[in-house]
Amino acid sequence: MEAHSYGMTVHTNLSMEAAEAAIRAALAEQGFGILTEIDVAETLKKKIDVTRAPYRILGACNPILANQALEIEEGIGLLLPCNVAVYESGGNTIVAAMEPELMSAVTDNPALAEVASEAKRRLILALSTLEN
């Protein structure tokens, strides 16, 4: 698994469809539901007539953790849900999740650190099920 300042990434040999199904199942096991789904390639084709490789963004939310974060700082909803991107690149399928600890870093609210850390732990567990 690769870590970046804004996310965590896994490369897999699974097809994009299989990887998406697998990450959905793994997220569910970690208490996340999918609130939103964005088909980026379809949207770009419709809006600006650009053809690109398939790219999907899943808005994953763990309701318990989201509620805790909102109780600490109501405005944190601007940084929710945790986006998970699924796309193909270089012959592999990439599954990437946002870095939840950005919530506490952006807000400078140390009370969010524990919630963000738990969200990160659960996202790492979900992503790790896809590692080759």
Q: pLDDT tens string for the chain (132 positions)? A: 888 888 999 999 999 999 999 999 999 999 999 999 999 999 999 999 999 999 999 999 999 999 999 999 999 999 999 999 999 998 899 999 999 998 888 888 889 999 999 999 999 999 999 986
- Kind and range of the H or E run holding 92: strand 92-98
The pLDDT, as a whole number, for residue 126 is 98
At 94, give phi and psi (nearest 5°). Answer: -105, 135
Token pair for residue 114?
């524990």
Within 8 A by CB and 6+ apart from 46, the residues are: none
In angstroms, the CA 28 to CA 22 distance is: 10
User: In the chain, what are the domain boundaries?
Assistant: 2-128
Domain 2-128 in this protein, CATH class: alpha beta
The pLDDT, as a whole number, for residue 103 is 81
